[in-house]
Amino acid sequence: MTNNLFTSYSIITYGCQMNINDSERIAGFFDEKGLKEAPAEKSDIVVINSCSIRQSAVDRIEGKIRKLRKIKNKPLIIVTGCLLEKDRKKLSPLADHVLPITLVSSWPLPFLKKENIPFFNLSLKRSGPTAYVSIMTGCNNFCSYCVVPYTKGREFSRPATEVIKEVKEAIKKGYREVWLLGQNVNSYNGGVDFSKLLKEINKIHGNFWLRFTTSHPKDFSDNIIFTIKDCKKVTNYLHLPVQSGDNAILEKMNRPYTAQDYRETVKRVRREIPDIALSTDIIVGFPGETEKKFRNTATLFSEIQFDMAYIARYSSRSQTAASEMEETVSEEEKRRREKILVEILKESSLEKNKPYKGKKLRVLVTKESKKKGFLFGKTEGYKTVLFEGSKELIGKFIKAEITDYSSWGLKGKISRK
């Protein structure tokens, strides 16, 4: 390909909110170079921002590349992102390039003059009504199932001045929701601790909500709890991954807290912030998880009564400590255990959503529904609301009267009062 054939790009993102935010930086950089964003089937360059967290994700990426190879105009395919060395080697023969995401400005592409711009200094092209702001990268925890320390490296916290500047710019551009991102935001240390960072952002003038992900239970201090309680812009929503309710499994996962520690943390949070909405992550079928140990997880799951949970079947990943452990749970059994937790979640989330019927809630409109003429929005507690409205409302706050509820969300109508 010659330089003048590189006029358009498409970015396909797999993984978490941090990957979405990384893709926004790639898009901003490409836009500055004069390329236009387009659908994958019409693009000269397709960037796949990938994730090695689970084998299933890598398999989907491989399938996507093979599908892209059948496109008539034969785009240049670049794979980047959160990748283990094993997965880089697997995908390299299929893609044109497998490149490190933090070196976007010096990728070996004909239309690029190598500039070596630090990744966090790249311009952002945000892809939705939420301003995702990465406050740190990497992780020092080395949970035995997790690849992040191997794909992203050790923890690095961005200076608080940079974070606050980015948040101010987002608010100035009209964003009504800011989401701070990090593998373990509680251990943020960019000149101030995480509580201080929340307080400083809370002081910024503007009408916006402030959220953050992810918190580690071992670092979730009373100081953070009181900061959430006292800062009006910090929402009453907390994602606090527990992963297992069995102490022996938690130890094998290298999660340095007990199930009782987690219960006590949740009690402290709910005592100070009674209306907090709580979500979590759970892994079923971890090596050594017997039926009795799984039942300990199910018991904790029932007791805590989560608003939402992200339940994953254990998937072995190379380089992690858990990959050396003998797998003891079949895929069929993992699916059975997953189903049990989903049924518990359906009941608890239904009970959590029931009191909202008849209430009028502030809702941030996030996107269009597939149902024509309807929109989705989020409440402060991160509850999904479906209601009728025009797409011009996306990115704005409305007041919605809740007319119905289910386990997975709320239905409502725009309130004029």
Chain segment 331-381, per-residue pLDDT in tens: 999 999 999 999 999 999 999 999 999 999 999 999 999 999 999 999 999
Contact 293, 247 (CB under 8 A): no
Rounded-to-integer distance, Cα 194 and Cα 198, Å: 6
pLDDT of residue 73: 84
Q: Is the pLDDT of residue 209 over 90?
A: yes
For 89-105, how does the pLDDT look when each residue is reduced to its tens digit (9 = 90+)?
Answer: 999 999 999 999 999 99
* 344/265 Cα distance (integer angstroms): 21
The pLDDT score that the predictor gives to residue 372 is 95
| 4 pLDDT tier (thresholds 50, 70, 90) | low
Instruction: List pLDDT tens digits, range 221-263.
Output: 999 999 999 999 999 999 999 999 999 999 999 999 999 999 9
Residue 3: pLDDT over 90: no
Residue 297: in which H helix or E strand, if any?
helix 291-304
Backbone angles phi, psi at 135, to 5 degrees: -100, -10
Q: In terms of DSSP bridges, do strands 45-51 and 76-82 run parallel, antiparallel, or are they unpaired?
A: parallel
* pLDDT surpasses 90 at 115: no
Amino acid residing at 198: L
pLDDT score for 1:
40
Lowest mean pLDDT among 43-47, 81-85, 349-353: 81-85
Asked if residues 117 and 162 have their Cβ atoms less than 8 Å apart, the reply is: no
Q: Name residue 245's beta-bridge partners.
A: none
Residue 214 preceded by cis peptide, ω within 30: yes
Three-class DSSP category at 400: strand
Residues of the chain above pLDDT 90, percent:
91
Mean pLDDT (whole number) for 382-397: 97
Q: Which element (helix H / strand E) includes 375?
A: strand 374-379
Mean pLDDT across 33-37: 94
Query: Residue 101: what pLDDT?
Result: 93
Q: Are 224 and 279 in contact (CB under 8 A)?
A: no
Average per-residue pLDDT for the chain? 95
Task: Find out whether 280 and 309 touch, Cβ atoms under 8 Å.
Answer: yes
Candidates 321, 262, 346; CA nearest to 296 is 262
- The architecture (CATH level 2) of 357-414 comes to Beta Barrel (2.40)
Give the model's pLDDT for residue 107: 94
Tens of pLDDT, residues 46-79: 999 998 887 778 889 999 999 999 988 889 999 9
Q: How many CB atoms within 10 Å of residue 120?
A: 17
Among left, alpha and beta (phi > 0; psi -120 to 50; other), residue 379 is beta
CA-closest candidate to residue 55, choices 18, 83, 97? 83
Instruction: Please say whether the beta carbons of 190 and 221 come within 8 A.
Output: no
Residue 391 CA to residue 414 CA, distance in Å, equals: 13
pLDDT score at 2: 37
Q: Which fold has domain 3-120?
A: Rossmann fold (3.40.50)
Phi-psi region of 369 (alpha: psi -120 to 50; beta: other; left: phi over 0): beta
pLDDT digits (tens, 9 = 90+) for 175-190: 999 999 999 999 999 9
CATH code for residues 127-354: 3.80.30.20
pTM: 0.94
pLDDT of residue 238: 98
Helices of type H across 51-120: 55-68, 85-91
Q: Do 402 and 417 meet the contact criterion of CB atoms below 8 Å apart? A: no
Domain ranges in the chain are 3-120, 127-354, 357-414
pLDDT in tens, 5-26: 789 999 999 988 999 999 999 9
As a whole-number percent, the residues of the chain with pLDDT over 70 amount to 99
Instruction: Name residue 127's amino acid.
Output: S
CB 333 within 8 A of CB 377: no
Beta strand pairing call for 374-379 and 45-51: unpaired
